[in-house]
A and B are shown apart, each in its own frame.
Chain A
């Protein structure tokens, strides 16, 4: 790919200073998202994926602070901008879709009013009504004129998420960040909303950073995937490569714990143990305590290294081109917990 990526993140580090100590929620994270590409950022709760997303727009709430790295959006390092320059880029160059549409819209104002706010924040006041109606129609809202006059509480969750997406896209940003956009929705609505986001980003050539913990969503939506664990990216690969040939034991565990229709739900393997305490991280590999492959080498912290074409993993076991032996997993992981 010769054109520079829309978003280029390098060594991003975000810390939270609390009375219990300092937590490095995002630790030296690097990734690119190209025009028209969808990158999935995957991990359990607390792995740092949401903080990574919020760090990109510099919206991390106190006591969180970005302490290092670069976040280049359309070639500009956002971390060097002043607050007003940053504000001008929020919404116009990068839109955002949040997890819970029930709380992401302001209950005191009509949907049309809130969309107008998103437009006028960037001095694009001309023909706002028409643009608002067009944006609502784009996300599949019937009767946009009437919907624009409605208040959020008069809409269903799925409708509200469509509004949030329409707001995120209304300034035609080059990048859209979606943080668990379907987690709070009914299963029947999830697929519709995902299809909508896929079509919109494809039609506009928008780069999409999709944060999720749902491997089904990843398979449906993403071109590439970055897996986060305890504040670090542990594996990064094109989606087919990741599903077919993952090189990190954590990714392997995640993939195995997807419920499948052809086996009873109780038989779905789970990943034993729980993520490490982020304020007291172990030395060495952070996944070591839960890893069935762990040996002496894992007492040293592994780097994220190339293990194949466009495929990187942070694991001593696979750095020499070895693959992980599935049978070891099957023996060690208890079925049905």
Chain B
């Protein structure tokens, strides 16, 4: 078990190294570089241009630039944004908790609703309750995030202004206002994710509900509820857990849209702004954070597997 964890972490480190190289390469491949952003497109002499390039180390060969960038990044230094003039790392530290909170809350809410709904749907497969659940969630899944978000914004600010608070307030400033300001983004992004969790749970449960060992339990007189929620669910869980981990990845993408709609100062919005302003250090840094989060989540899911499935444990 310990050996497996060590091997897994080594794998994570290698993947992250490859990811960092890719992220850096993308930054370097985009036409133009930071110099033009700093100096300005017109009016600067070639000498001024070269001076800035030299100061930023952009005149060195790419591999050297990469090693320098990586060494700094490992120490938490992602450089200074030429746009805002602030250190990129300090922006990340400010933005990351907002996005993480939204992502984890979404996961919590969507699992709390989607998992039981999926189980109930599978148990009642093709009967009225199943159809009701599926049609409802298919609807929430089919409407794009930005439509739900804007509708909620409209409805919320007009008819329930006391329930929702539109501009972001940090927890440290006012906890109540904070909850109210997070409620609408949470609802918006939780709708489609809940539908996916439900669908996956239903499919996975349907597969095990007719397994021979379920018939064995039934023939042994085990109560039906116990069969469904213990004997069957336990076997249906591994693919569901994998899927929920995978959803976190999708969520990170969804954050860009939701944070934009609700003006949340999170990573997604920061990334979009950085792209629009060609803020190179910021773009590479946020991309790296997203990618790292994705890799770590997947590693965690993998480590959960032996807990869920005894066949994955070494003897």
Q: Which residues of A contact B (CB under 8 A)?
A: 57, 59, 61, 83, 87-92, 95-96, 98, 100, 103-110, 114, 117-118, 121-122, 151, 153-154, 164, 167-168, 171
Contacts and interface: CB of A to CB of B under 8 A. Distances in A.
A87 B311 contact: no
Given A108-B234, A109-B234, A154-B315, A117 B217 contact: yes
Given A108-B234, A108-B310, A59 B221 contact: no
For A117, A153, A154, the residue with the greatest tally of chain B CB atoms inside 10 Å of its CB is A117
Nearest to A118: B220
Given A107-B311, A108-B309, A59 B219 contact: yes
B65 interface: no
A98 B214 CA distance: 12
A171 B221 CA distance: 11
A92 B221 CA distance: 8
A21 to B, nearest CB: 20
A151 B213 CA distance: 13
B234 A118 contact: no
Interface in B7-63: none
Contacts of B310: 107-110, 151, 153
B210 interface: yes
Interface residues of B, number: 23
A106 B227 CA distance: 11
B206 to A, nearest CB: 13
Interface string B292-315: 000000000000000011110001
A89 B223 CA distance: 12
Contact of B220 (A90, A103, A151): A90
Given A109-B234, A117-B222, A121-B222, 10 more contacts: A83-B224, A90-B219, A91-B219, A95-B219, A98-B216, A104-B216, A106-B213, A106-B234, A110-B310, A154-B315
Q: Say whether chain B's binding surface is mostly helix, strand, loop, or mixed.
A: helix
B211 interface: yes
Nearest to B315: A154
6 contacts: A59-B215, A87-B223, A108-B235, A118-B220, A118-B222, A122-B221
For B212, B216, B222, B311, the residue with the greatest tally of chain A CB atoms inside 10 Å of its CB is B216
Contacts of B211: 103
A107 B213 contact: yes
A60 to B, nearest CB: 11
Nearest to A91: B221
B221 A103 contact: no
A106 B231 contact: yes
Nearest to B211: A103
A211 to B, nearest CB: 14
Contacts of B94: none
A11 to B, nearest CB: 23
Contact of A167 (B216, B224, B309): B216
Nearest to A106: B213
Contacts of A168: 220
Nearest to B125: A62
A122 B221 CA distance: 7
B86 interface: no
Contacts of A122: 221
A122 B235 CA distance: 24
